[in-house]
Chains A and B, each alone.
Chain A
């Protein structure tokens, strides 16, 4: 999976979790929760969706790596290698 695919995967999950949010202009360097109304319950959902869709397990202690789109890419690059983007 390319870095862009990983971003798309995360954005796709956010779009499903928060259907009222505009996900078209997310700044990859800015914390997601500063750009959108996402709380800890929502991050739990992102983690659960990663597991459900891609079989990727994110332990509690690693939630911090999901703060921005860029940090998601860094953190997930190896874990997502070889996976197919789910729409």
Chain B
């Protein structure tokens, strides 16, 4: 008999949610996490006495208590969590801000519709038609033919600026593809952001993670931290367990991997499987050809979209500086580019988050401004660890009010700077380039931190620091290695709620609904 009914690789949202489902029904399950903290892409840390979140700006998919048939309601029931346990507070309002035009939106879709009517009066009928098409599309239908989103959107929206303004938040919060999205992913994101909207627990992501961990342990699940998986063991074409970094082996009937499609392929690749499995690009054969997305049977590629995020602690609430928005998705150019930049970071577009502008019941401990920009993993990976060292406890310095000469001289094609110097440089650029959208907060910054594509690679294990994983998704989760299934980002459900639902639905489908033994 195997050691476990199921081994789950990764204690992120999907792994924990899958673990809860399995433990709840008395499966012998272990979640293996390489790091000393759980959460994966959505985690948290302490820095100089402050508590910061990684990943989470907001939870998408807001649904009020008792709302029917929405992803959040489904998640709560599957994990048996009461709505009030999440301690969610809605956003005030957010905005998409492009040169000369701004669209505000909130958890009431009518605000966005009114803003489109005001700013793009000729487009509003098309916007209504697009909203209808989104509403009517069943994104859970795995048999729907795959198509690109832009052609569908262009049937309704003829102004390219509005088109980009609609895409901007949806891409930033979930697209693993450059330039375009798969239509079903567009629908998922449109619903989760524009129809349902944003909320956040007072204590941020750590609150959600604590709920999940408590639930998992109470159900009898086992969690092993600092336990990396070095390979997935196979017998013929069947997964039989895993080998850990320390050489220990664990056997299981089923392995659910949140490591990513390509990354999971690599974990099998060294196991001496049939040659097709160990291809040049990781493990193309792991891809179930029947269910791949628009890339249609081509090998899984690493995602190209990674991010930097800067965190600035202010000496006062952002509201006191006249910054009212909860989240701003901005572009400094009329046409928004969602693509890997040639330089370290593309600061011409991004996301600005003011976590204090959720409708929180109490003043948060810190007044934060967080800025996310698209970044180039390869360039960050190539930087040496020399340069400005944060070890002295000084860390990054708050940005001066104007770029200093060195930074200004570098503004055009940046020479490759050592890692910490590059962080300082790009922190300043990132802050300077949002000033067309929010008041100058820089004189009020008391502490800063920043994470880069390297940080993301380190904590998620995703190749290329790809936040949203591979552009190729495996909707059924089923790989061509028997008993091995993909959960999480690369299964194709997005965001915190999406990732958790991914773990839940894969655990249901491939473990709990597996031919039950006769009743006792």
Q: B-contacting residues of A (Cβ < 8 Å)?
A: 16-20, 37, 39, 41-42, 44-45, 48, 51-52, 55-57
| A44 B513 Cβ-Cβ under 8 A | yes
A37-B69, A39-B74 in contact; A55/B82 too (CB < 8 A)?
no
Question: Within the complex, which residue of A16, A18, A55 is in contact with B520, where a contact is CB–CB below 8 Å?
Answer: A55
A39 CB contacts on chain B under 8 angstroms: 69, 74
Q: Is B519 at the interface (CB under 8 A from chain A)?
A: yes
* Known A-B contacts A19-B81, A39-B74; A55 and B519 likewise in contact (beta carbons under 8 Å): yes
Set A16, A18, A48, A56: member contacting B512, Cβ < 8 A: A48
Is B25 in contact with chain A by the CB < 8 A criterion? yes
Which of B68, B73, B512, B519 is packed against the most chain A CB atoms within 10 Å? B519
Partner of A44, one of B26, B83, B512, B520: B512
Quick check: B512 and A20 within 8 Å, CB to CB? no
Binary contact track B482-519/A, C-beta < 8 Å → 1, others 0: 00000000000000000000001100100011001011
**A68: min CB distance to chain B, Å:** 19
Given A19-B80, A20-B66: A51 and B74 interface contact (C-beta under 8 Å): no
B76 interfacial by beta-carbon distance below 8 Å: yes
| Docked CA distance A52–B26 (Å) | 8
CA distance A55 to B518 in the complex (A): 10
Produce 1/0 per residue, B44-75, CB < 8 A to A: 00000000000000000000011111000110
Interface flag for B132 (CB, 8 Å): no
CB pair A17–B513 under 8 Å, yes or no, is: no
Residues of A within 8 A of B80 (CB): 16-17, 19
Measured in the bound complex, the distance between the Cα atoms of B64 and A37 in whole Å is 13
The residue of chain B having its C-beta at the shortest distance from the C-beta of A47 within the complex is: B516
Report B's interface with A, CB cutoff 8 A: 25-26, 65-69, 73-74, 76-78, 80-83, 504-505, 508, 512-513, 516, 518-520
The contact of A57 among B67, B83, B519, by CB within 8 Å, is B519
Contact B66 A52 (CB under 8 A): no
Q: Please, which residues of chain B bring their CB within 8 A of the CB of A51?
A: 516, 519
A47–B246 alpha-carbon span in the complex (Å): 40
Task: Determine the chain A residues whose CB is within 8 A of the CB of B77 once the complex forms.
Answer: 17-18, 37, 41-42, 45
C-alpha gap A51/B512 in the complex (Å): 12
Contact of A37 (CB < 8 Å), options: B73, B508, B516? B73
B82 and A48 contact, CB distance less than 8 A: no
Contact at B83–A20, with CB atoms within 8 Å?
A: yes
- Contact (Cβ within 8 A) A19 B519: no
Residues in A neighbouring B78, C-beta threshold 8 A: 41, 45
A-B contacts, 22 listed (Cβ < 8 Å):
A18-B77, A19-B80, A20-B73, A20-B76, A37-B67, A37-B68, A37-B77, A39-B74, A41-B77, A41-B78, A41-B504, A41-B508, A42-B77, A44-B508, A44-B512, A45-B77, A45-B78, A48-B25, A55-B519, A55-B520, A56-B519, A57-B516
Q: Could you tell me the distance between the alpha carbons of A39 and B83 in the complex, rounded to whole angstroms?
A: 17
Shortest CB-to-CB span from A45 to chain B, Å, is: 7
A55 to chain B: which residues have CB within 8 Å?
Answer: 519-520
CB-CB nearest in chain B for A42: B77
Once bound together, how far apart are the Cα atoms of A37 and B26, in whole Å?
A: 25
Q: Which residue of A lies closest to B84 (CB)?
A: A20
CB distance from A31 to the nearest CB of B (A): 14
Q: What residues of chain A lie closer than 8 Å to B68, measured between beta carbons?
A: 37
How far is B82's CA from A18's CA once the two chains are assembled, in angstroms? 8
Q: Which residue of A lies closest to B73 (CB)?
A: A37
Bound CA–CA A16/B67 (angstroms): 18
Further pairs besides A45-B77, A48-B512, A52-B25: 17, Cβ < 8 Å: A16-B80, A17-B77, A17-B80, A19-B82, A20-B73, A37-B66, A37-B67, A37-B68, A37-B77, A39-B69, A41-B78, A41-B504, A42-B77, A44-B512, A51-B516, A55-B519, A57-B518
A16's closest neighbor in chain B, by CB?
B80
Q: In the complex the two chains form, what is the Cα distance from A20 to B518 in whole Å?
A: 33
Shortest beta-carbon distance from B520 to chain A in Å: 5
A residues less than 8 Å from B512 (CB atoms): 44, 48
Tell me which residues across on chain A come within 8 A of B73, comparing CB atoms.
20, 37
User: Chain B residues with Cβ under 8 A from A52's Cβ?
Assistant: 25-26
Report how far A16 CA is from B512 CA in the complex, Å. Answer: 18
The residue of chain B having its C-beta at the shortest distance from the C-beta of A36 within the complex is B68
Instruction: With CB as the reference atom, state the residue of chain A lying closest to B85.
Output: A19
> Bound state CA distance, A18 and B25, in angstroms?
16
* Residues of chain B lying within 8 A (CB to CB) of residue A45: 77-78
Nearest opposing residue in chain B for A51, CB measure = B519
Query: What B residues does A44 contact at CB under 8 A?
Result: 508, 512-513
